[in-house]
Amino acid sequence: MPSVCEEKEFQSLYKSHAKPLRNFLYYKSGDLKLSEDVCQEAMIRMWENCKDVIFEKAKSYLYTISMRLFLNIKRHEKIKLRFAQEMKHLVNDQDPSYLLREKEFGLSLQDAISDMPEGQREVFLMNRIDKMSYAEIAEALDLSVKAIEKRMHLALLFLKERVEELKTRKI
């Protein structure tokens, strides 16, 4: 009995099903690039799960996986569209004074970060902007993770104090 895990058999399945599958997806979506991407992803998944795929049911497996992938992409696009529309309404509905206060707060935050002691600022920016973990920062700066944790703690305390000062000044 042939196995999907055998390279020769997999290539045979690929040659016989890739183009019809891509066309099927193209007819559904109207997007050739998306169709090709989903088709390739379905083939990859079949290869990764070849031990679980019965050779005689490989075509059905491919079409099922492809439709799931396609529907997941479409659902994600709907969510992104809905979020973009909500954000558009939020931005358009905000009064100018709120937008001005938000801009002023951003500038004050930038000032506070620039006023931080150098070691704290460096660790804070590497963690929050560059998305580096404490271990990565410790390695880059040739310090212990505990030292990084301490600097980050002090940086956050510094920012908290500055935010509190801003609140009291505005009231």
Q: What is the pLDDT of residues 35-70, one digit of tens each?
A: 999 999 999 999 999 999 898 999 999 999 999 999
Q: Is the Cα torsion angle 22, 25, 30, 32 positive or negative in sign?
A: negative
Q: With H, G, I as helix, E, B as strand and everything else as coil, classify residue 130.
A: coil
Q: Tell me, yes or no, whether 58 and 84 share the same domain.
A: yes
148 CB neighbour count, 10 Å cutoff? 25
- Give the alpha-carbon dihedral of 123, 125, 131, 137, to 10 degrees: -20
**Mean pLDDT of all residues belonging to the chain:** 88
In a domain, 134, yes or no: yes
24 CB neighbour count, 10 Å cutoff? 19
Q: Tell me, yes or no, whether 99 and 50 share the same domain.
A: no
Dig out the tokens for 126 from the structure.
Answer: 């590497």
Which helix (H) or strand (E) segment holds residue 141: the answer is: helix 134-141
- Residues 26, 7 contacting (CB under 8 angstroms): no
> Domain span at residue 13?
7-90
Residues in the chain: 171
Confidence of residue 171 (pLDDT cuts 50, 70, 90): very low
Cβ density class 44-53: b for 16+ within 10 Å, e for less: ebbeeebeeb
**pLDDT recorded at residue 101:** 78
Confidence of residue 89 (pLDDT cuts 50, 70, 90): low
Comparison of pLDDT for 92 and 98, the residue scoring more: 98
**pLDDT recorded at residue 150:** 96
Q: Tell me, yes or no, whether 24 and 71 share the same domain.
A: yes
**pLDDT recorded at residue 94:** 65
Its pTM stands at 0.50
pLDDT score of 154 more than 50: yes
Q: Tell me, yes or no, whether 73 and 147 share the same domain.
A: no
Q: Tell me, yes or no, whether 109 and 40 share the same domain.
A: no
In a domain, 1, yes or no: no
In a domain, 2, yes or no: no
Alpha-carbon span 167 to 104, nearest angstrom: 12
pLDDT score of 167 more than 80: no
Domain boundary, last residue among 75, 90, 105: 90
| CATH code of the domain covering residue 143 | 1.10.10.10
Q: Tell me, yes or no, whether 37 and 85 share the same domain.
A: yes
Instruction: Tell me the average pLDDT across 156-166.
Output: 88
